[in-house]
């Protein structure tokens, strides 16, 4: 199988060019053609010598992901289902805020209409399935098959950017990227970092570190590695104020309890592009949404500069959980605000196409036998 150039960061691409007798600037040229212009045909790269195009096409290609399904919700949220082989499929979700057709080109708003800044966020997957099995997450229920390669990770951004650019006639429709799709990004550390380096590269996507967010369930050693290798904005799936409850909701907590996790967050902030960590907290009715637990959460996160993102639970079949009521979410948030914390309630987007937070499932050929074990328990 030929080398897929989509997965090479600048250093890797420059090394490849050097091995083929070319100067490093050839790599930068081709990166701009691939990632910024969305070109997959070497023949269209007009400022690259014909000889080199023929030489590299003999050993490498530019191969985007195969799209199995492309769905758009009424609110503009768009979800792609990508084939990653051997019966596995992953999902990526685009969430627009504002009017892409006007605001991204800096067109003035209509008279009497207040201007809003456009923001387009792409949520990207890093694994086919997930091995961590958080109890409220649809992806975790599917089991785990394998890590995605760097080309498969960046391919989601490459395809989404091409599709949206063509649909809206804009150059860079995606302003923010979040590693919050299927999988635990830090469990696929090397491939995720390689892909994020491409996202940050000005010769590729040029996304700022503040606009690139990685969400983790709390793999403490990998948080420390990320701090040194590629510090971007950090979000942590907390979901509980104490170890007893978090052990139940986020099983990795049994290995890396809250105290160790918060210490890692403090270390991370020293090199992070933002001076705070975002703690994600999914609101589960009767489980973690009481006022008493809100007060406990205030005490738990007090040592860490943070923002709390409250996420209404997005149901999926046989989840065993229900979404907290609007009054319960408001009461929980008010406790945090009164304590001086920054707290927001995430707006649910894309739930009509199962594209909301926690709903991504794709298709996973489970190697963990998790699904089979659950079926056996249910039959017993």
Whether the per-residue pLDDT at 358 is higher than 90: the answer is no
Per-residue pLDDT tens digits for 195-226: 999 999 999 999 999 999 999 999 999 999 99
pLDDT of residue 137: 86
pLDDT of residue 100: 64
pLDDT of residue 39: 95
User: Residue 272 contacts by C-beta under 8 Å, 6 or more apart in sequence?
Assistant: 227, 231, 232, 233, 234
Whether the per-residue pLDDT at 361 is higher than 60: the answer is no
157: Cα within 13 Å, side-chain hemisphere: 35
pLDDT of residue 115: 44
- Rounded to the nearest 5°, which phi and psi values hold at 274? -120, 150
For the chain, the maximum distance between any two Cα atoms, rounded to a whole number of angstroms, is: 69
Q: How far is CA 8 from CA 16, 21, 34, 111, 142, in A?
A: 9, 18, 11, 46, 30
- Rounded to the nearest 5°, which phi and psi values hold at 279? -100, 120
pLDDT of residue 105: 45
pLDDT of residue 166: 86
Q: What percent of the chain has pLDDT over 70?
A: 88
Per-residue pLDDT tens digits for 276-285: 999 999 999 9
pLDDT of residue 318: 79
- Token match 């605000």: residue? 337
**Which of the four pLDDT bands, split at 50, 70 and 90, describes residue 169?**
confident
Superfamily name with CATH number, domain 66-379: Aldolase class I (3.20.20.70)
Whether the per-residue pLDDT at 377 is higher than 50: the answer is no
Whether the per-residue pLDDT at 135 is higher than 90: the answer is no
When comparing pLDDT for 355 and 17, which is higher? 17
Within this chain, domains 3-61 and 66-379 share the same CATH topology: no
Mean pLDDT of 175-186: 96
Whether the per-residue pLDDT at 40 is higher than 70: the answer is yes
Domain boundaries, the chain: 3-61, 66-379
- Token match 């456009």: residue? 118
Give catalytic residue positions: 91, 357
Q: CA-CA distance, 230 to 368, in Å (whole number)?
A: 30
Return the closest-CA partner of residue 330 out of 350, 348, 344. 344
Contact call for residues 180 and 115 (beta carbons, < 8 A): no
pLDDT of residue 139: 80
Per-residue pLDDT tens digits for 97-131: 876 665 544 444 444 444 446 889 999 999 999 98
Out of 1-15, 25-39, 45-59, 348-362, least confident range? 348-362
Mean pLDDT of 14-27: 93
At 9 the three-state DSSP class reads coil
pLDDT of residue 110: 45
pLDDT of residue 373: 56
Mean pLDDT of 332-349: 92
- Report pTM: 0.89
Q: If you write DSSP's letter for every residue of 30-92 in order, what string do you get?
A: HHIIIIIS----GGG-TTS-HHHHHHHHTTEE--PPEEEEEEE-TTS-EEEEEEEETTEEEEE
Mean pLDDT of 233-258: 97
**Which of the four pLDDT bands, split at 50, 70 and 90, describes residue 232?**
very high
Out of 39-43, 46-50, 137-141, 241-245, least confident range? 137-141
Q: If you write DSSP's letter for every residue of 290-357 in order, what string do you get?
A: -HHHHHHHHHHHTTS-EEEEEEE----TT----BPPHHHHHHHHHHHHHTT-EEEEPPP-SGGGT-ST
pLDDT of residue 363: 72
When comparing pLDDT for 136 and 32, which is higher? 32
> What does CATH list as the number for 3-61?
1.10.150.530
Whether the per-residue pLDDT at 362 is higher than 80: the answer is no
**Which of the four pLDDT bands, split at 50, 70 and 90, describes residue 354?**
low
Pairing mode, if any, of strands 3-4 and 60-61? parallel
Mean pLDDT of 174-203: 96
Whether the per-residue pLDDT at 350 is higher than 60: the answer is no
Q: CA-CA distance, 21 to 24, in Å (whole number)?
A: 10
């Amino acid at each position: 199988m030929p080398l897929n150039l989509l997965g090479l960061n600048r250093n890797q691409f420059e090394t490849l060019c050097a091995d083929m007798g070319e100067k490093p600037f050839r790599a930068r040229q081709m990166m701009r053609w691939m990632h910024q212009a969305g070109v997959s045909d070497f023949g269209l790269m007009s400022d690259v010598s014909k000889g080199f195009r023929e030489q590299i096409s003999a050993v490498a290609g530019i191969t985007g992901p195969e799209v199995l399904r492309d769905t758009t919700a009424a609110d503009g949220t768009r979800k792609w289902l990508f084939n990653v082989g051997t019966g596995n499929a992953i999902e990526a979700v685009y969430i627009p805020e504002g009017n892409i057709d006007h605001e991204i080109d800096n067109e003035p708003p209509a008279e009497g209409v207040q201007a809003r800044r456009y923001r387009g966020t792409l949520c990207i997957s890093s694994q086919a399935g997930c091995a961590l099995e958080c109890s409220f997450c649809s992806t975790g229920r599917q089991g785990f098959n394998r890590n995605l390669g760097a080309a498969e990770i960046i391919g989601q951004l490459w395809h989404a950017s091409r599709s949206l650019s063509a649909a809206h006639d804009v150059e860079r429709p995606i302003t923010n990227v979040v590693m919050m799709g299927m999988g635990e990004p830090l469990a696929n550390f090397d491939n995720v970092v390689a892909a994020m380096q491409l996202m940050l590269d000005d010769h590729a996507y040029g996304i700022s570190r503040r606009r690139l967010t990685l969400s983790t369930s709390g793999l403490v050693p990998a948080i420390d590695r990320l701090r040194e290798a590629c510090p971007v904005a950090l979000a942590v799936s907390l979901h509980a104020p104490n170890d007893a409850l978090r052990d139940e909701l986020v099983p990795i907590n049994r290995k890396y309890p809250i105290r160790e996790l918060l210490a890692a967050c403090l270390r991370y902030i020293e090199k992070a592009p933002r001076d705070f960590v975002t703690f994600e907290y999914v609101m589960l009715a009767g489980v973690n949404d009481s006022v008493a637990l809100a007060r406990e959460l205030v005490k738990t996160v007090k040592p860490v500069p943070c923002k709390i993102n409250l996420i209404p639970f997005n149901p999926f079949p046989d989840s065993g959980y229900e979404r907290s009521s609007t009054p319960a979410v408001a009461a929980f948030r008010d406790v945090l605000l009164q304590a001086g914390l920054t707290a927001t309630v995430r707006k649910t987007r894309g739930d009509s196409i199962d594209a909301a937070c926690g709903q991504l499932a794709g298709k996973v050929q489970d190697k963990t036998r998790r699904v089979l074990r659950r079926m056996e328990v249910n039959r017993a």
